[in-house]
Amino acid sequence: MTGLLEGKAVVISGAGPGLGRGLAVQCAKAGADVVLAARNEQRLAEVAKTVEEMGRRAVTVPTDINDPAACEHLVETARESFGRVDGLVNNAFATPPLTDLTKVDLDAVRAGFETNVLAALRLTRLFVPALEERGGSVVMINSAVLRHSRRTFGAYKMAKAALLAMAQNLATELGPRGIRVNTIAPGYIWAENLQWYFNHLAEKRGVTAQQVYDENAATTDLRKLPEPDEVADAVVFMLSPLARAVTGQCLDVNSGEWHH
C-alpha cells in the first residue's frame, strides 16, 4: 500500500480505537497526512502519536458530528492545516438499541439515524467544495448488517441501509463534479471491543475465548475474522487512484461470511 496516498490529506471521523485507529495508520502507511475527528481527546492524541511516529502529520480535532458548528470547525481546520482535502472517511457511528422492531423505542431509532445517516450527510456536504478542488473521494463505513435480517438488529439495519442508499445517490450527484463516493461493509472486526465481548461470552458459557472465536470464524470462508488493518486497506484502495473508476459501490470485507 506504500505510496498509494502519497501527498494526500485524509479526514477520518470516529478516529478512536479499533477500526478508527486502523484507518489512520493504514492511510499514513500509504503516504497520507490525516485529520482525526472524534469526541474523545485522549484517544485522538494516542492515534495521532502513532501516525506521527510513522513520519506523517496528524491533526486532531475534537468533534461531535451531531454538532453542526463542530463539523464546520473540522472542515476549516482541515483546509487550514493542509490546504487540501483529498479524502473523507465517515467512520463515526452509533449503535441503535438492539431490540425487536415491534418493541424498539422510536425516539432511539431517530437518534440512531441522526448519527449514522444525517450526521454523515452533513459532514460530506460540508467537505464537498474542498473535495471538488482535488477530485477527492468519500468512503462510508457501513456494516455486514446489510446482508442479514437477524432479530434485534432491525433498527441498526434500517440506519445502515439508509446510509448505503445515501452513498449511492451522492455518487450520482457528485460524480459529475469529480468526487467518488463508495462504501465499505465489514463484518465482525477483531479489535478491542469484539475481544472484550468474546471474553464476556466465554466466561458466561464456561468456555475459552478461543472457542468463541473459532465458532464465529467457522462461519466465514477464510476461517478468520478481519482485523482493523485489513478493513482499512480496503478503504485505502477506495481512496486511491487504483479505484479512480469506482464509485457508487459497496465492498464487503468479511472474510467471506456473506456473499454479495
Q: Which residues contact 183 (CB under 8 A, 6 or more apart)?
A: 139, 140, 141, 142, 163, 164, 167, 249, 250, 251
Q: Which residues contact 175 (CB under 8 A, 6 or more apart)?
A: 181, 247, 248
Q: Residue 16: its pLDDT value, please? A: 86
- The candidate with the shortest Cα–Cα distance to 123, out of 249, 208, 38, is 38
pLDDT digits (tens, 9 = 90+) for 70-107: 999 999 999 999 999 999 999 999 989 999 999 999 99
pTM of the predicted structure, to 2 decimals: 0.95
Residues found in the chain:
260
pLDDT digits (tens, 9 = 90+) for 189-211: 999 889 999 999 999 999 999 99
Q: Residue 71: its pLDDT value, please? A: 98
C-beta neighbour count of 245 within 10 angstroms: 7
C-beta neighbour count of 94 within 10 angstroms: 17
Helix, strand and coil in the chain, % to nearest 5? 50, 15, 35
- Active site residue ranges: 156
> What distances in angstroms separate CA 163 from CA 30, 157, 237, 245, one per listed residue?
27, 10, 20, 21
* Residue spans of the chain under pLDDT 50: none
> What distances in angstroms separate CA 210 from CA 38, 169, 206, one per listed residue?
32, 42, 12
Give the Cα separation of 25 and 250 in Å (integer): 22
Domain 9-188+228-253: give its CATH code. Answer: 3.40.50.720
Domain ranges of the chain: 9-188+228-253, 190-225
